[in-house]
Structure 1
């Protein structure tokens, strides 16, 4: 038959049976909920209906569709999910959560290059998102500044730099309250080697509580690793306006951030206080 697949040929997304199954499961908000309910003990139709608050006809049509696809089976104790149904429910639930997270974190994701942000979607679950709004256009930057104000240690890379934040870091480091290791984007190089930045960098480097390097290429986003638990990812638009900042305590996300920072740091050019000498200091 034209629509039949040989058992040794994997189904592709464009195959009619695969598309039909996806359409069926996503065609009603009740169907995935019913399939997940049946992943527990066997249930009667009445119990299923009560669990998902669906009509009798909706539950009947859904169960018939699941039975015909081999996702559930009918037993003396009621309906229960099969091994195939368990796999379908688990993967479709994961896909649904991924879609929810990508919608929630769209202000961040639309500004990061996919090749540089190879994370698992579930790492974003529970993260805090600060976005730029008309009323508070610099809200992400303000949240980032608060991190610098309260952390004891910090590592990260910054595509851009501004004076207020540099002065805050300088004051906390020279007062013995803070240690930092940063990688700056190439666009910052000439900028920070001129006054008033240069003096602030010289004084920070003199404390041995500060390290700075210049990346060998464009930095894809702001990455912050304050203290030992959190990770921050920040993005800006083409004009350099901060658009979103994500903060997370997810362990895997943090480990990814540490590995990412260390990769950029290895390829960066370290700077010393002498690199910040200017004509004014001479």
Structure 2
């Protein structure tokens, strides 16, 4: 194990080594190609190529270099680990708030996700992020334990103006909370009456707050006390498939909204 760890360290301690190996896995490159792509000096590049040849990770081919089978093996494993660590660093500040029990996809699917956190000047930044997505969406789906005023307002305005369609599944508590406020109740009634709307209510709780705005999946992240801590959104196709499958599961277990049964 120690020798394997030392080889991992050998790669990890040099961004230039990683960059050179990554390019040689893609095909043959000359020293000039590699120097231009990496910015490494000729002396540094020479040492890297010699070290790689000594390990049989690369070989000379037609005046250039290319990765060997073992070089490709090393690159695949190391670059996979690098991708995992890059994703972990991005998620580190919010992982404690991710509803991992409700997520069944590889967290590496969040490698290009947008993470939005509250700040002193923008305490509502995560909600603002989803509102921006809603304002540009033609098709909106949501399943959630809450229906905040901002989202309700934007969705109601876009659907009643014929700019969007909306499907939602909400917990009973979420809809009752909206119906208990006179102003929000009017917006909710307007939304429910709009031809582009289809909403169902679930008696059991929904443990996540997810909005799918066209191709983007947005999730609000709260702590155990219900305090909004962040949001994360992604257009990854696997994340999107998870969101639609989960929506369909909640939808099939929910009932059409009876406005007379909502809290007055």
Instruction: Normalising by structure 1, report the TM-score.
Output: 0.74
Which residue of 1 is the match for residue 241 of structure 2?
255
More helix per residue: 1 or 2?
2
Would the alpha carbon gap of residues 153 and 50 (structure 1) be closer, same or farther in structure 2, given more than 3 Å must change? closer
Would the alpha carbon gap of residues 21 and 239 (structure 1) be closer, same or farther in structure 2, given more than 3 Å must change? same
Aligned counterpart for 1:67 among listed residues 23, 46, 53: 53
Shift, 1:81, TM fit: 1.1
Q: Note if contact 2:126-2:231 (Cα within 8 Å) is conserved in structure 1.
A: yes
| Alignment map for 1:241-252 (pairs within 5 Å) | 241-252=227-238
Report the secondary structure of 2:97's partner residue. Answer: coil
Q: Note if contact 1:193-1:275 (Cα within 8 Å) is conserved in structure 2.
A: no
Would the alpha carbon gap of residues 264 and 54 (structure 1) be closer, same or farther in structure 2, given more than 3 Å must change? same
Give CA deviations for 1:51-108 in whole Å, capped at 9, x if unaligned: 5344566445544443343322356735431012113223322332332233335455
Consecutive unaligned residues in structure 1, runs of 5 or more: 1-14
Which residue of 2 is the match for residue 94 of structure 1?
80
CA distance in structure 2 between the partners assigned to 1:26 and 1:142 by the alignment: 38
Which residue of 2 is the match for residue 184 of structure 1?
170
Aligned counterpart for 2:2 among listed residues 16, 21, 24: 16
Are 2:208 and 1:216 aligned? no
Task: From the CA coordinates, give the structure whose radius of gyration is larger.
Answer: 1
Are 2:212 and 1:233 aligned? no
Report the secondary structure of 2:212's partner residue. Answer: strand
Shift, 1:34, TM fit: 2.0
Which residue of 2 is the match for residue 6 of structure 1?
none
Report the secondary structure of 2:52's partner residue. Answer: helix
Are 2:33 and 1:33 aligned? no
Q: Give every structure 1 segment of 4 or more consecutive aligned residues whose post-TM-superposition deviation is greater than 6 Å.
A: none
Which residue of 2 is the match for residue 161 of structure 1?
147
Q: How many residues align?
A: 261
Report the secondary structure of 2:7's partner residue. Answer: helix
CA distance in structure 1 between the partners assigned to 2:159 and 2:34 by the alignment: 61
Shift, 1:136, TM fit: 0.5
Shift, 1:49, TM fit: 5.3
Aligned counterpart for 1:77 among listed residues 63, 66, 89: 63
Deviating more after overlay: 115-124 vs 88-97: 115-124
CA distance in structure 1 between the partners assigned to 2:133 and 2:5 by the alignment: 47
Instruction: Normalising by structure 2, report the TM-score.
Output: 0.78
Q: Note if contact 1:201-1:273 (Cα within 8 Å) is conserved in structure 2.
A: no
Q: Note if contact 2:200-2:251 (Cα within 8 Å) is conserved in structure 1.
A: no
Consecutive unaligned residues in structure 2, runs of 5 or more: none
RMSD: 3.3
